[in-house]
Amino acid sequence: MRPRARTRQSGTTMIEFCLSISLWMVVLMGLSVVGLNLIQALQVEQICRDSGHMYSEGLDFTQAGNQSLLMMLCTGLNMTTTGGSGVLLFSTVEYIDTPQCTAGGLQGNTGSCPNLGQDVFIQRVVVGNSSLFSSKFGTPTTSIIGTSGNIASSDYLTNISARATGFSSVLSLTGGQVGYVTETYFSSVNFNWGSYLSSTGVYERSIF
């Protein structure tokens, strides 16, 4: 009887092992994916901070040479200046008060200067795959953005699409003050598990 009992116990142990290993393999794979995404998140945070600092210091990211510098920062993240798995959005935001309206040849009221009392975009530059992500503060109409990313005062004072919606809840500006905003988004292919989990990515923002 004893040998038979041992044989039965051995079979039960094998079944238990197979059941438990299937569970732990899923846990191990999940931890690996989370770890890889965490590494990417740290890299994206560094890219956002460094590029944002350069932008606030006046670096023109519409120039090919400066875009190449960005690509060096984004090494390993499958990004190009016009496509790939990432995008960087650079925005200059200004608060419009009465002096800004009168300087633009308008009266200091919302009838003449519709964006009076609003935060507005005065510049927007996009590098990378623009279809991946849109700014959390809004997107100015393409027709009012110049080749260097600048928006003319005649547009940012009157065109409501130039408003930086919700920016005041992040940073409160006074008349004439500006903020330099950098938003970065990179898709996380490590988290794309078919229909179970898709369209994931890492978003970072810096303001100077």
Domain containing 130 equals 44-207
Residue 58 lies in a domain: yes
Comparing CA positions, the residue from 193, 194, 201, 186 lying closest to residue 73 is: 186
CA-CA distance, 104 to 64, in Å (whole number)? 32
CA-CA distance, 125 to 148, in Å (whole number)? 8
Residue 2 lies in a domain: no
Q: What is the four-CA torsion angle of 92, 97, 98, 99, rounded to 10 degrees?
A: -50
- Poorest-confidence range of 20-29, 102-111, 155-164, 188-197? 188-197
Tell me the one-letter amino acid at 60: D
CA-CA distance, 125 to 88, in Å (whole number)? 8
Domain count, the chain: 1
What confidence tier does 12 reach under pLDDT thresholds 50, 70, 90? Answer: confident
Comparing CA positions, the residue from 131, 123, 152 lying closest to residue 61 is: 123
Q: What is the pLDDT of residue 196?
A: 47
pLDDT tens-digit map of 72-122 = 999 988 999 999 999 999 999 999 999 999 999 999 999 999 999 999 999
Residue 10 lies in a domain: no
Residue 35 lies in a domain: no
> Is 187 exposed, middle or buried (CB count within 10 Å of its CB: 0-12, 13-18, 19+)?
buried
Residue 158 lies in a domain: yes
Residue 22 lies in a domain: no
Please give the model's pTM, rounded to 2 decimal places: 0.81
pLDDT tens-digit map of 123-168 = 999 999 999 999 999 999 999 999 899 999 999 999 999 999 999 9
